[in-house]
Structure 1
Amino acid sequence: MSRSRSPALRPLAMAAALIVPGLAFVAGFSGLAQTSQTFTSVEETQTALQRALTQAAQAEARGQRLEAEAASATEQAERTAREAAALAARIQQAEAGIAVADARIALIAGQRARLDRRLAQRREPLVRLTAALQKMARRPVALSALRPGSLRETVYLRAMFETTIPQVQSRTAGLRAEIDRSRQLETAARQAAAGLRSSEAELVQRRRNLAALEARQRLASQSARGDAARESERALALAEEARDLDALVGQLDAEATLRQELAALPGPVMRPGKPGDARVSPSSRVPAAIATSATPGRYQLPVNGRTVTGFGARSEAGVSSNGIALAARTGAQVVAPAAGRAVFAGPYRGYDRIVIIDHGGGWTSLVTGLARTDVEVGDVLVGGSPLGVAGGARPVVSLELRRQGTPVNPLEYLR
């Protein structure tokens, strides 16, 4: 029977043998990984991917720089501080890697869904056509003369087959290309899932390393905690007295200015051996070093995330924003935006936990939205020092930068 099959109909059986297993492959494929983030559009997903790639590159560069600075530091305290900042940068790099994997998985899932919809539209008619052509291909042409009807119908049928075969082959080629694309998406999904697992493992290990380093720091600084404890009590007292966050920042700014002015005072003058050699010392002035500087130093965002509120944006109540707000991942690492000294760290009414950093030169940063703070009042911080982690199901970390008590846009000072 197979020898009597028309040579023109053989490609139809081959096409049917290819189409059906390919459609079964498409129908049986399920997603290999699910993204932990929800995106509403392809454009939003692509934007999130580019943002995460940029943040990962920036965090990697910070980590390399801080690791080099730690290796060249001569004092143990400075070396430890920079090692902690480098670990925090590596944690942010791993977090950005997770965000990259999430965005890629979401893009692949969207492409898979669109491909499945196209194949679903084409699958049913192609399967019916393939079944019919297979049936006709198994029937010898010679037997068609025995069927009722004229030979003219058989000739017409042969002519129709010869016209249809190229179209079927063409559509089959397009379907084969889409099936190959489906296999490529499957491979890409597996790679993205592997990248996600790798970034998550790195994140866990680096958090452990940072926790161990912070524990060593606390043990090493226990002997010098007396002054810090008194300063922390003073900061808490100011927080209770302050009517709002702006008032608290203003009070801490005033104390920082007073502390700098006292530090700039000249030391005691020895009494001269001859009274006639006595001179009146000039009145002390605040040196230029502690006057308002042009920039707060090397400045960065405290956390990886998407900007949800810009500087100066007005709320529904008509209040203008004094800073920016960043939507971060739950438990995201929060770091010091620039070098300075922690003048407040802890809970504050309505803001979860906050950290206020005096950068010197009239600059102050306020970071809110922390679930945990890893610094204490009086700690000297390098840029990128770990401050704590973001908390909540959908954490929002806000950053305010003030110059002599006046809010300014922190984005203008990013490097």
Structure 2
Amino acid sequence: MSRRLPLLAALVAIGFLGLPATAQAPTRFETAEQARAALDAARLQQRNARARGERLERQAARGREASEKARAESAAMAARVQQAEAGIDAAEARLALANRQRLALDRELAQRRTPLVRLTGALQSMSRRPLALSALQPGSLRDLVYTRAVLDSTIPLVRERTAALRTDLDRAKRLESEARQALADRRDSEAALRERRKQLAALAEQERLKARQAAGGADREAQRALVLAEQAIDLDQLIGRLEAAGSLRERLAALPGPLPRPADPTSASVSAPASPLASATEPPARYQLPVAGEITAGFGEAGTSGQRQAGLALAARPRAQVVAPGAGRVVFAGPYRGYGRIVIVEHASGWTSLVTGLDTLDVAVGQDVTAGSPLGLAPARRGEVTLELRHGGEPVNPLDHLR
């Protein structure tokens, strides 16, 4: 019996050791369900960003024109940045889940700790009592026989409980391993993010320089956009004036050149103007959300002021990469009256996108962008980036046109 009890006590004591402490999980997850939902969303965003990056890299490799190739390369790098950001979100959600499960297991073990500690202490005390001393004391032999009978019935129960504790400890080790792996994945994603942001910043600067060199009137257009921003009463009026200017520019660009004088003026005829094709009203061929994040306010929802939401509000992680939702031309880029820095992209066929809530900008007025081209970064603190899609000045739900 004296040989079995120390071993038994050691097995039970294993269950009372504190579980190893892991790094603190992000506090933005109030429940395990929120963490699981965030993990699923981050993994989906990671897959989508990887697919976009691979598609844009293939497009850049096939590109013949230098400007088209450069835009595709810049958009591909922005997609890789968003992929790394989603990887960080996924690692943080995995870490939060592992820590929550570890703490729940620790609380469960604590509930079973007190009775087993008392039993183990009593058994160890009896095991240290010399057998000769038990024989000399009155009643000790009877107590010894009684103790042996109690032990014969108690030891199987203790063995059963220690087996359960060993299973729980194995589970705790797995949770610790998962948490450490999540931390390692987060560090790797953060390192990749820093490197890709450096490369993206260099590509974005090259794009801005090329845009200035290619468009001699870009400075005049930027000044005109600033004047319109100062004159506009609100954001709706600014977008309306920019759309009017864009429509005028499209009509002027579509005008035919001078027709040659006919040899016989009397036989000349004027053809009727062609009716617009159905494709002239189609939305952008590729359209995406400007930033990865949860939709906190949907299209048409009533805000605190009672006014209906004209677009989508997305919760962006700090310094998240913001990209162009569709191909087009930047007609405004700069700060505007409480909206932070905003970007207005003019698409074909009378479509316009407005992105607000940026902290830094990587584009300039007059610059051509493709779907996924970098526009800038979200603020350093977690906030909202909004997206509005309009056609002919009327707000349209962007979710209906995501491709």
TM-score where L is the length of structure 2: 0.94
1:51 aligned partner: 41
Q: CA deviation at 1:138?
A: 3.4
Distance in structure 1 (CA, Å) of the matches to 2:209 and 2:254? 32
* Equivalent residue number for residue 173 of structure 2: 183
Cα 1:339–1:202 shift into 2, 3 Å: same
- Residue 253 of structure 1, CA deviation: 1.6
SS at match of 2:307: coil
Which stretch shifts more, 304-313 or 77-86? 304-313
Give the Cα–Cα distance (whole angstroms) in 2 for the partners of residues 399 and 414 of structure 1: 12
Task: Pick from 2, 5, 8 the counterpart of residue 15 of structure 1.
Answer: 8
Aligned: 1:298 with 2:298: no
Query: How much has 1:207 moved relative to structure 2?
Result: 0.4
Task: Indicate how the Cα distance of structure 1 residues 150 and 137 shifts in structure 2: closer, same or farther if over 3 A, else same.
Answer: closer
How many positions carry a matched residue from both structures? 403
8 Å contact 1:292–1:404 — kept in the other structure? no
Shift in Å at residue 392 of structure 1? 4.4
For 1:246 and 1:378, locate their aligned partners in 2 and report how far apart those are by CA, in whole Å. 20
Following superposition of structure 1 onto structure 2, how do residues 11-410 of structure 1 map, counting pairs within 5 Å?
11-21=4-14, 23-24=16-17, 26-27=18-19, 29-31=20-22, 33-36=23-26, 38-139=28-129, 143-149=133-139, 151-277=141-267, 279-282=268-271, 284=273, 287-288=276-277, 291-293=280-282, 295-410=283-398
**How much does 1:216 deviate?**
2.6
CA contact (8 A) 1:307 1:325 kept: yes
The one-letter code matched in structure 2 to 1:322 is: A
Q: Identify the residue that residue 3 of structure 1 maps to in structure 2.
A: none
Q: Determine helix, strand or coil for the equivalent of 1:62.
A: helix
Say if 1:309 and 1:325, in contact at 8 Å, map to a contact too. yes
SS at match of 1:39: coil
SS of residue paired to 2:345: strand
Code of the aligned partner of 2:280: A
Separation in 1, partners of 2:383, 2:232: 25
Deviates more, 1:124-133 or 1:357-366: 124-133
Q: CA deviation at 1:372?
A: 1.0
Unaligned 5+ segments in structure 2 are: none
Query: How well do the aligned residues superpose, as a CA RMSD in angstroms?
Result: 2.0
Deviation at 1:123, TM superposition (A): 2.7
Whole-angstrom distance in 2 between the partners of 1:285 and 1:376: 35
After superposition, give the CA deviation of every residue in 1:161-218 in whole Å (9 maximum; x if it has no partner). Answer: 1111111001111111111111111111111110000000000000011111223333
TM-score, L = length of structure 1 = 0.92
Report the secondary structure of 1:226's partner residue. Answer: coil
Residue pair 1:289, 1:361 contacting (<8 A) in 2 also: no
Amino acid at match of 1:239: A
Further displaced range: 241-250 or 129-138: 129-138
Q: How far apart are the structure 2 equivalents of 1:362 and 1:236?
A: 21
Matches of 1:329 and 1:148, distance apart in 2: 76
Deviation at 1:287?
3.8
Deviation at 1:38, TM superposition (A): 1.6
Q: Any gaps of 5 or more consecutive residues in structure 1?
A: 1-5
